[in-house]
Amino acid sequence: MSDITANTPIHGSSAPRDAPMATTGLIAWLRANLFSGWLSTAVTLLLGYLIVRAVIGIVDWAFINAIWSVPLSPTGVAQTQVCRDLQGAGACWAVVTEKHRFMLFGTYPYEQHWRPAIVCLLFIGLYIVSAMRRFWNWTLIPIWAVTLTAIGILMWGGVLGLPYVPQERWGGLPITLILATFGLAFAFPLSIVVALGRRSNLPAIKVLCVVYVELIRGVPLISLLFMASVMFPLFLPEGMNIDKLLRAQIAIILFAGAYLAEVVRGGLQALPKGQYEAADAMGLSYWQKTGLIILPQALRLVIPPLVNTFIGFFKDTSLVLIIGIFDLLTAGKTAIVEPAWQGFGVEVYVFVGLIYLCFCFAMSKYSQGLEAELNRHRRR
């Protein structure tokens, strides 16, 4: 505890002192938040006990009692009796060890797994580069074009000596990333256009945008995927065929576009009218005003709900199981269909869940950083 300074002026104003220990630091925080009264102390102790028990239980299950691999019989069938004997006391991570390549890459040919692996890394690289603000100019377009072409070449093959792999055999993480990336990359500009259109003074455009948003929001994504898969071919001329993945992709783009449009519209509405007026008074055209003044501010305002929707749609890609496309989650489910591995769903879902968590948490963290950086002008 520091001493009160001795040179206190005589005429009354005192020099600042250090705060007494009991009101700052860890002890003070504990006293104020956890042990501030009898009830608070009791709740803290109870919850503390429950938390410690839960953590011990999880560590026991996930690490201490877990089995990490099982032997294979001479015919290659996994001998999972060891796991079953545990009867839930420990995790059977062997299912992940054995099946992770199927869960990650689906029915892609086993020897060619390096291709979807590189594709996943390319996607991650693309996200990282797109996230960095210093690439936010026209150079992003060739970067995306080249990366997506490389991804296409790697997945399909047929050129450069790579064996051709038909789309029906694609599965797992690459499918999730393809659907999510293309989906959101196209849905976001679409949503901006629709949001602006909804606020337009031209009645035809406004009605079109309203109808689009209300129709799409009125149906579940599953039914839209189903309709896309079954009904699209009926409307197309004879012989013309859009492949299944593309149909699912279009459905996801339309669906995400409608939801994102409403988020963007919220931002447009939140902007003070004076900003629109000042831009008008300077003689800026509609697109100059929208691109330079309105959208930069409106989009900054709605980063939280935008990222929220992005994260939601990243996970909604798993609904394509309804039309028979093997995304990451479906591949995980299918991995435990084999009789030897039936019943180990928990371990599989934890593994798949962790992968989703990595991507979604990264998005979340990134958005926080982006918000802080873009709103620097608001800090004094």
Binding residues vs another protein (CB under 8 A) = 272, 274-275, 277-278, 280-285, 288, 292-293, 296-297, 300, 374, 377-380
Rounded to whole angstroms, how far apart are CA atoms 44 and 179? 45
Q: What is the DSSP string of 152-189?
A: HHHHH--STTPPP--GGG--BHHHHHHHHHHHHHHHHH
**Nearer residue to another protein within complex by CB, 133 or 377:** 377
Shortest Å, Cβ 292 to another protein = 7
**Nearer residue to another protein within complex by CB, 303 or 374:** 374
Rounded to whole angstroms, how far apart are CA atoms 341 and 138? 50
**Tokens, residue 225:** 């995927």
**Nearer residue to another protein within complex by CB, 31 or 199:** 199
Rounded to whole angstroms, how far apart are CA atoms 100 and 91? 15
**Tokens, residue 52:** 């410690």
Shortest Å, Cβ 291 to another protein = 10
**Nearer residue to another protein within complex by CB, 40 or 200:** 200
Query: Which among 264, 291, 289 is positioned nearest to 274, based on CA atoms?
Result: 289
Shortest Å, Cβ 364 to another protein = 23
Shortest Å, Cβ 264 to another protein = 16
Q: What is the DSSP string of 301-354?
A: HTHHHHHHHHHHHHHHGGGGGGGT--BHHHHHHHHT-SGGGTT-HHHHHHHHHH
Q: How far is CA 181 from the centre of its chain?
A: 10
Rounded to whole angstroms, how far apart are CA atoms 117 and 155? 10
Shortest Å, Cβ 201 to another protein = 11
Instruction: Report DSSP state, residue 18.
Output: P
**Nearer residue to another protein within complex by CB, 169 or 206:** 206
Query: Which among 219, 245, 247 is positioned nearest to 231, based on CA atoms?
Result: 247
Residue count of the chain = 380
**Nearer residue to another protein within complex by CB, 215 or 292:** 292
Listed in sequence order, the DSSP H helices in the chain are 25-33, 38-59, 81-86, 94-105, 114-131, 140-156, 173-198, 203-217, 221-230, 232-235, 244-270, 273-281, 286-289, 295-301, 303-316, 328-335, 345-374
**Tokens, residue 355:** 């992968």
**Nearer residue to another protein within complex by CB, 299 or 322:** 299
Shortest Å, Cβ 285 to another protein = 7
Cα–Cα distances (Å) from 252 to 187, 320, 364, in that order, read 8, 9, 21
Shortest Å, Cβ 301 to another protein = 10
Shortest Å, Cβ 308 to another protein = 22
Shortest Å, Cβ 138 to another protein = 17
**Nearer residue to another protein within complex by CB, 213 or 295:** 295
Shortest Å, Cβ 377 to another protein = 4
**Nearer residue to another protein within complex by CB, 88 or 369:** 369
Rounded to whole angstroms, how far apart are CA atoms 182 and 188? 10
**Nearer residue to another protein within complex by CB, 225 or 264:** 264
